[in-house]
């Protein structure tokens, strides 16, 4: 049996409400909330970045896995906000958590699907017998330009998944990837903020790939939407995942637990992995979860996991996603937010 | 001048056509129209497009399209009159046939709008750049001024204004080519995003990709191609002030009135003979003013009349059975051609659930800018 042996997430304490951002720019808050189905989003603290978020999430995953970190043979962090253009994020993490030095480390980038990509490769390592454990992480401190619609959603957070063969808590039953050259969203080197193709990010990008991957995964597995207790789709805003899920035949009830976007925003590479983590927080043995990521550029990785008898034993060992989302919140005003996100300059 | 008939029509679906470029869309519509008419060779063609250059960086599209639909060698002419380009392309084709110059002529309209980064500024090139564009006014703002003036003078309420898009969405539900064939209610209009007070998002026609085409020939040859020819009974075109501030009255569209008068005169009919009309509802207020300028309602009366059901089935006249620009979509250069297609479909009795009962004479009204140009066609089933 191959699958997840430990999982964990990290949600920053800071928040900004969509209404606060709307007030700053003179936007109509009701329209924004209704249009994007977002009420607030997370904001990274001034000393937080993709590395610290990854470490916090990975720590929770190791707690749940209950394994010697030295046995982890590979660590991959998927993000589009690695703090350094040249210098890996993963090296800091392996030293901080006592993994390695005999470990393979790489930073992945594929817009919002880099986390799922890290999971995909980690799973493949274990499946091939190349190593006992491998960890895939999706984490971001997403960028959204001031005044851009993205500013309402771009948030921070991440999740980590350790794959292995012993004491598996969620077996990976099927996986599928769907990729094409679709330039809907990009950020070039030296640019602070990503650019996007407006409506082009919708039908030809998000929906084509999410639905293409989702349909293929259903076909490959021979399963139907009603076979799943939970379903998670990448969450660039509140509307897209619910629409994609509905088209595939899933109900809002199936998507409710993993639909963290209305309180968390879009954590880019951390988005669908954190939705998955939230589902694993509550799933019962035998229940299945359907997950489809999406990364602009564009592609989707999809997974089907089934909870084992081991899952309930590890669920209480680390904070759940919704616990972190609902507690210990510190709300920021726009000025503080602008400072935390380094959107304004101060004297040193 | 010879009598002219429309013998074939074709269009793409209107919407976000990400898999089709401008020539793909035009070719689909043109080849469908040619197939519908049963013609393989054209004598000439006209292509209506507002701004293919700014939208897609492709100019010289009259030749591009002739080449791309396998008609290279024939004369092909681009027609541009902002959002009235498609209607004027049809008018040009009709005149070419009426003059005796050609027999089988295609008129097509096309616009690829979704590939552009900032479509508002492209559309704004149809306004008066020196007096309007350079000062930042775009069309929603111009029509909002007209709406404010109209509502102030005639006491039209915001709720009554909303009935225009609500009606058009209801019509579009039965149009398989419509971009937004969904029902719209009062709440949906009044709670949609404010664009330019008092116009909200649901008062504004959308950004649309699409193409439409028609084939015309001499009326006396029409039966060679179809047993349901549609006669071109009247045409009227006119220009109006390019800048809104030069309109003598903000609640009037002089070009529409002039074009309508010319079309009625040529056709020898009055407003009472018209069974349905496709009008240029680029914004809710436009449909109201146009319906008045064409004589269907007195000045100041159309808004309340439409709100009271007089612009739909069972009312005074069916306005925009296709769903209009608001719900069918508004690929600007294609809109006028698509209006003709809707009229032909109705007059053939092929409009299915949106069929206007016993439709014998139909009218189309296409407009450029804030009334800088307008073209009206009156068609008749023969």
Q: Per-residue pLDDT tens for B71-118?
A: 999 999 999 999 999 999 999 999 999 999 999 999 999 999 998 877
B207 chain-A contacts, CB cut-off 8 A: 199
The whole-number pLDDT of residue A199 equals 83
Compare all CA atoms of chain B with the CA of A199 and give the residue at the minimum distance. B114
Contact yes or no for A200 and B191 at CB 8 A: no
B245 is catalytic: no
Please indicate if any CB of chain A lies within 8 Å of the CB of B191. yes
Q: Per-residue pLDDT tens for B130-150?
A: 999 999 999 999 999 999 999
Best residue of A184, A203, A298 to probe chain B, by most B CBs closer than 10 Å = A203
The whole-number pLDDT of residue A211 equals 98
Q: Å from B195 to nearest chain A CA?
A: 11
Q: Which residues does residue B379 pair with via DSSP β-bridges, in sequence order? A: B232, B362
Q: Å from B284 to nearest chain A CA?
A: 21
DSSP A139: E
Q: Going from the N-terminus, what domains does chain A have, and what CATH number goes with each?
A: 3-169+319-340 (3.40.47.10), 173-307 (3.40.47.10)
A198 chain-B contacts, CB cut-off 8 A: 117
**A302 within 8 A of A291, measured Cβ to Cβ:** yes
Q: Å from B200 to nearest chain A CA?
A: 11
Contact yes or no for B16 and A199 at CB 8 A: yes
Q: Å from A343 to nearest chain B CA?
A: 25
Q: Per-residue pLDDT tens for B228-248?
A: 999 999 999 999 999 999 999
DSSP symbols for B265-282:
HHHT--GGG--EEE---S
Q: Per-residue pLDDT tens for B330-349?
A: 999 999 999 999 999 999 99
The whole-number pLDDT of residue B117 equals 77
A202 chain-B contacts, CB cut-off 8 A: 16
Three-state SS at A64: helix
- Starting at the earlier edge strand, list the strands of the sheet with A14-17: A40-43, A14-17, A330-331
Contact yes or no for B194 and A34 at CB 8 A: no
Mean pLDDT of chain B: 97
The whole-number pLDDT of residue B165 equals 98
Contact yes or no for B194 and A28 at CB 8 A: yes
B330 is catalytic: yes
Asked whether this chain's domains B4-118+208-224 and B131-204+233-381 adopt the same fold, the reply is yes
Structural domain boundaries of chain B?
A: 4-118+208-224, 131-204+233-381
Structure tokens belonging to residue A54:
């990854």
Extended strands (E) in B244-346: 276-278, 318-319
Q: Per-residue pLDDT tens for B197-213?
A: 999 999 999 999 999 99
Q: How many CB pairs under 8 A join A and B?
A: 19
Domain B131-204+233-381 -> CATH class: alpha beta
Nearest to A31 among B16, B19, B193 (CB): B193
> What Rg do the C-alpha atoms of chain B give, in angstroms?
19
Question: Which positions of A are annotated as active-site residues?
Answer: 80, 112, 234
- In angstroms, rounded to a whole number, what is the distance separating the alpha carbons of residues B276 and B318? 5
A35 chain-B contacts, CB cut-off 8 A: 193
B113 chain-A contacts, CB cut-off 8 A: none
Chain A residues with a Cβ under 8 Å from any Cβ in chain B: 28, 30-31, 34-35, 198-200, 202-204
The whole-number pLDDT of residue B178 equals 98
Contact yes or no for B191 and A30 at CB 8 A: yes
Please indicate if any CB of chain A lies within 8 Å of the CB of B194. yes
Distance of CA B306 to the CA centre of its chain: 19
Give helix A208-221 / helix A239-248 axis angle, nearest 10°: 40
Contact yes or no for A199 and B114 at CB 8 A: yes
Q: In chain A, which stretches have pLDDT less than 70?
A: none
Q: Å from A292 to nearest chain B CA?
A: 23
Q: Per-residue pLDDT tens for B270-279?
A: 999 999 999 9
Closest CA to B281 of B168, B132, B124, B152: B168
Closest CA to A250 of A202, A280, A307, A290: A290
pTM of the model: 0.86
Contact yes or no for A203 and B194 at CB 8 A: no
Contact yes or no for B18 and A204 at CB 8 A: yes
Contact yes or no for A203 and B16 at CB 8 A: yes
Question: A10: left (phi > 0), else alpha (psi -120 to 50), else beta?
Answer: beta
A31 chain-B contacts, CB cut-off 8 A: 192-194
B192 chain-A contacts, CB cut-off 8 A: 31
Fold of B4-118+208-224: Peroxisomal Thiolase; Chain A, domain 1 (3.40.47)
Question: A187: left (phi > 0), else alpha (psi -120 to 50), else beta?
Answer: beta
The whole-number pLDDT of residue B116 equals 87
Q: Which residues does residue A8 pair with via DSSP β-bridges, in sequence order? A: A160
Q: What are phi and psi of B322, to 5 degrees?
A: -75, -15
């Amino acid at each position: 049996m191959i699958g997840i042996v430990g999982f964990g997430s990290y949600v920053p304490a800071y928040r900004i409400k969509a209404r606060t951002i709307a007030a700053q720019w003179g936007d109509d808050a009701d329209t924004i909330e209704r249009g994007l189905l977002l009420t607030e989003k997370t904001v990274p603290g001034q000393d937080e970045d993709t590395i610290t978020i990854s470490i916090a999430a990975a720590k929770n995953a190791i707690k749940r896995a209950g394994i010697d970190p030295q046995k982890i043979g590979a660590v991959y962090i998927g993000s589009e906000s690695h703090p350094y253009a040249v210098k890996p994020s993963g090296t800091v993490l392996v030293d901080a958590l006592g993994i390695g030095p005999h470990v393979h480390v790489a930073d992945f980038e594929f817009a919002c699907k880099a986390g799922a990509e890290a999971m995909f490769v980690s799973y493949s390592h274990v499946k091939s017998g190349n190593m006992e454990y491998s960890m895939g992480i999706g984490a971001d401190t997403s960028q959204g330009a001031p005044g851009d619609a993205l500013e309402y959603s771009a948030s921070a957070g991440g999740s980590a998944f350790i794959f292995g063969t012993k004491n598996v808590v969620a077996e990976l039953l099927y996986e599928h990837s769907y990729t094409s050259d679709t330039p809907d969203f990009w950020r070039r080197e030296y640019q602070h903020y990503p650019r996007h193709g407006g409506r082009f990010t919708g039908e030809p990008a998000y929906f084509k790939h999410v639905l293409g991957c989702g349909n293929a995964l259903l076909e490959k597995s021979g399963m139907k939407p009603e076979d799943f207790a939970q379903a998670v789709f990448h969450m660039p805003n509140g509307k897209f995942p619910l629409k994609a899920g509905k088209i595939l035949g899933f109900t809002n009830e199936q998507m409710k637990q993993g639909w963290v976007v209305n309180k968390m925003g879009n954590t880019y590479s951390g988005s669908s992995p954190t939705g998955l983590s939230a589902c694993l927080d509550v799933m019962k043995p035998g229940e299945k979860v359907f997950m489809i990521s999406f990364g602009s550029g564009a592609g989707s990785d999809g997974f089907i996991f089934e909870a084992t008898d081991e899952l309930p034993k590890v669920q209480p060992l680390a904070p759940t996603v919704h616990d972190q989302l609902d507690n210990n919140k510190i709300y920021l005003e726009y000025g503080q937010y602008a400072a935390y996100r380094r959107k304004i300059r101060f004297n040193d | 001048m010879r009598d002219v008939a429309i013998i074939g029509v074709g269009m793409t679906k209107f919407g976000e056509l990400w898999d089709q470029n401008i020539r793909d869309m035009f070719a689909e519509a043109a080849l469908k129209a040619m197939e519908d008419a049963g013609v393989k060779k054209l004598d000439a063609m006209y292509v209506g497009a507002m701004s293919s250059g700014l939208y897609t960086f492709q100019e010289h599209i009259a030749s591009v399209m002739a080449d791309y639909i396998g008609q290279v060698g024939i004369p092909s002419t681009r027609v541009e009159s902002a959002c009235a380009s498609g209607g004027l392309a049809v008018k040009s084709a009709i005149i070419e046939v009426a003059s005796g110059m050609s027999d089988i002529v295609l008129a097509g309209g096309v616009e690829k709008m979704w590939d552009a980064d900032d479509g508002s500024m492209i559309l704004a090139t149809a306004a008066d750049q020196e007096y309007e564009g350079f000062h930042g006014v775009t069309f929603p703002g111009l029509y909002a001024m007209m709406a404010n003036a109209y509502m102030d003078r005639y006491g039209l309420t915001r709720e009554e204004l909303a009935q225009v898009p609500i009606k058009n969405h209801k019509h579009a539900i039965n149009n398989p080519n419509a971009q937004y064939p969904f029902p719209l209610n009062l709440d949906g209009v009044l709670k949609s995003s404010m664009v330019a007070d008092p116009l909200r998002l649901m008062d504004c026609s959308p950004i649309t990709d699409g193409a439409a085409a028609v084939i015309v020939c001499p009326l006396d040859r029409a039966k060679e191609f179809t047993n349901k020819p549609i006669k071109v009974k009247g045409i009227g075109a006119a220009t109006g002030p390019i800048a809104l501030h030069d309109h003598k009255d903000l609640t009037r569209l002089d070009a529409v009135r002039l074009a309508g008068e010319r079309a009625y005169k040529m056709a020898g009919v009055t407003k009472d003979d018209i069974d349905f009309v496709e009008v240029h509802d680029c914004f809710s207020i436009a449909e109201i003013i146009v319906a008045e300028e064409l004589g269907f309602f007195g000045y100041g009366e159309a808004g309340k009349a439409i709100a009271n059901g007089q612009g739909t089935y069972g009312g005074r006249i069916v306005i925009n059975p296709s769903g209009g620009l608001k719900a069918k979509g508004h690929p600007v250069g294609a809109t006028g051609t698509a209006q003709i297609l809707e009229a032909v479909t109705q007059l053939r009795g092929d409009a299915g659930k949106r069929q206007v009962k016993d439709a014998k004479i139909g009218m189309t009204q296409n407009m450029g800018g804030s009334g800088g140009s307008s073209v009206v066609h009156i068609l008749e089933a023969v």
